A and B are shown apart, each in its own frame.
Chain A
Amino acid sequence: MEQKLITVVAAALGVDPELLKLDSAAGEIEAWDSVAQINIVSEVEEEFGVSIPIEKIAELHTIRDFLLYLGAK
């Protein structure tokens, strides 16, 4: 799941997956701005078949946050 998540996030950001780590965070990666954050949410929802409530989204800052959210589901 970890590798798939990184691939999905990389695709949403339009960057090489090699550049991302679990603790990669919004603000630290140049392409990861507020628009990209929404695209990551959309792509993760699509790829993992989940619907992330709007209240949760502000808490998801790193790839690890997404992973924990998906694990907790």
Chain B
Amino acid sequence: MKCALLSNSNIESLSRRVDTRHEMFIGEGYGSWIQELANPTSAMWRFGPAAVVLLLDGTELLHGYEGAKEDTLFAAVDEQITWIERAAELAPAVKFFVSNIDVPPLSVRSMKQVSIERRLEAYWYDRLVALGARVPNMYVMDVKGLIEGRGREQFYSKKRWYLGGMKYSVVAEKTLAKEITRTLDAIAGTGRKKCLLVDLDNTLWGGVIGEDGLEGIQLSETGEGARYRDFQRRIRQLKDLGVILAIVSKNNYTDVQEVFDNHADMVLKKDDFASLKINWSTKPQNIAEVAQDLDIGSDSFVFIDDNPVDREAVRSAMPEVTVPDFPADTTLLPAFLDQIYQDYFFALESTEEDRKRTETYLQNAKRAAERHAAWSVEEFLTALKTKITVRKVMDEDLPRAAQLTQKTNQFNLTTRRYTEQDLQGFRRSADSAVYIASVSDKFGDNGKTFLAILKKAPPDTAEVDTFLMSCRVMGRFIEDQILDHLVRELRQQNVAKLRLHFFPTKKNMPARAMLDRLKGKIVSQEENGNTTWEYDLTQGSPVTQPAYAELMPR
């Protein structure tokens, strides 16, 4: 990813520490950041960044304002924020990450005197937060938090400052580079895991429920048991960011049921988990079953267990599962989960779909149960009362649309991964269109779960660049129905031919089934299996599958 790193101190050394997957641009000169931002023909804009990281040193920001009154300083901050705002508005597809500031005391003062440094830190932060709320592509980077974590003593280096205009110590540069790398990775969105699997005994609570009983396990609001309660609180926060939770535990189900029902200090409830494997099977066996139940690849799993033997069993049987070491000192449990979030589940923002994800999986389990009630598939699909809403993507859909391209593996004809910026490009181009669809049914709302990108190929052909659907809504022939709808629109625009591609991967065979149902012919097939179909739209729609849902264009 192309990233511009701007600062009011020398960040050359820091920029070299950012992972080489990312191409870095750094501004020239310590004070040039405003100019780089404000001038549309600056070297930075010519570089064409997908992300701009603005790392500002509080002390340097005050340079030239020594002895100034608060009003003067606040006015200067307002002006700087305005420059950032303009840049962010001019380049809506570029993500801006702006640091909060740390201002060490600049002068001696009496106890009654107000700390101008504290006031300024707070004012800058308030203005940034307000800006972030107005401008969707601007994010606050909590550099002040990193400095507080290490302490100024360790974070800054006077020697490096006097020698080379570098503010930060080596360890601070490593910390910042890691933060920047993580942020840039999160834009690409590819490495994020989906599901956290947890053990119960000595993991969600202290002790063994089967031996110690409900009264004997450690789990409480205060005292020693609070470490487990704090750990559970953080796991719950992960869930709200869209991480799926599941239990994999060797226990008697009834013992665990009693904890869920009767332990006042359980933060996590049974419904917080999309899958419960509480039995005496091996962990790898249970994990494989969770993967099947939830239809999630086990390479998207992170497994937490205090027992080193179980961890090792999972590592060797399922090397694709991420298995972090468990802290030997359980007072570190909350910090351990913070690290797991940073390393495996870090997210720039969370969508409404993320917050409801577990609910959706639970609803899916209910749908599956209903299907088993000896109905014909047709009866079942009709009874679901599915509603599909299709429309062209709007600005507010872009985060979810990018997430769909990055995370959908099974029903995905071409598995092309796109960033928000890419999608904005397709959306703005006269030669392409991006469609998104939401799906709901009598059990609940599945949210935005379908995406298609169509491109014009002169003179009269439409090319399907991307056609994907979340696995939550697979198996209902929704794809046929949406395609049929798109075909109708294309025919109105006098498009005569439609071309679909299928690029096989390890996971996307489910998408192939749709192509076999359509009326058309293969026009090219490569050795790697990449296949292209063509459909003559002058003869009508290639879709033959009956529809079961109600489709509402908007």
Contacts and interface: CB of A to CB of B under 8 A. Distances in A.
Interface of A: 14, 34-36, 38-39, 41-43, 46, 54, 57
A46 B170 contact: yes
B16 A38 contact: no
A21 B160 CA distance: 26
B544 interface: no
Given A42-B169, A42-B170, A35 B159 contact: no
Interface in B156-170: 157, 159-160, 162-164, 166, 169-170
Contacts of A35: 10, 12-13, 16, 164, 166
A39 B13 contact: yes
**Residue picked from B12, B157, B170, most chain A C-beta under 10 Å:** B170
B163 A41 contact: yes
Interface string B127-161: 00000000000000000000000000000010110
Given A14-B16, A43-B170, A38 B162 contact: no
A41 B157 CA distance: 12
A54 B159 contact: yes
Contacts of B157: 42
Contacts of B170: 39, 42-43, 46
The secondary structure that dominates the A interface is helix
Contact of B166 (A14, A38, A43, A54): A38
B92 to A, nearest CB: 34
B160 A42 contact: yes
Given A39-B13, A41-B159, A54-B159, A34 B164 contact: yes
A57 B163 CA distance: 9
12 contacts: A35-B13, A36-B13, A38-B13, A38-B163, A38-B164, A38-B166, A39-B170, A42-B157, A42-B169, A42-B170, A43-B170, A46-B170
What 5 pairs across the A-B complex have the smallest Cβ distances?
Answer: A42-B170, A38-B164, A35-B13, A35-B12, A38-B163
Nearest to B14: A35
**Residue picked from B159, B162, B166, most chain A C-beta under 10 Å:** B159
Contacts of B164: 34-35, 38
A61 B143 CA distance: 34
Contacts of A57: 163
Interface in B6-31: 10, 12-13, 16
B163 A54 contact: yes
Interface string B168-185: 011000000000000000
Contacts of B159: 41-42, 54
Contacts of A36: 13
Nearest to B10: A35
A43 B160 CA distance: 12
**Residue picked from B157, B163, B166, most chain A C-beta under 10 Å:** B163
A54 B170 CA distance: 17
**Residue picked from A34, A38, A46, A54, most chain B C-beta under 10 Å:** A38
Nearest to B162: A54
Contacts of A42: 157, 159-160, 169-170
A4 to B, nearest CB: 17
Nearest to B20: A14
A36 B17 CA distance: 12
Contacts of B16: 14, 35
Interface string B74-107: 0000000000000000000000000000000000
Nearest to B160: A38
A45 to B, nearest CB: 8
Nearest to B15: A35
A12 B16 CA distance: 11
A34 B170 CA distance: 15
Given A35-B10, A35-B13, A39-B13, 9 more contacts: A35-B164, A36-B13, A38-B160, A42-B157, A42-B160, A42-B169, A42-B170, A54-B162, A57-B163
B138 to A, nearest CB: 30
A9 to B, nearest CB: 13
A15 to B, nearest CB: 12
Nearest to B170: A42
B494 to A, nearest CB: 58
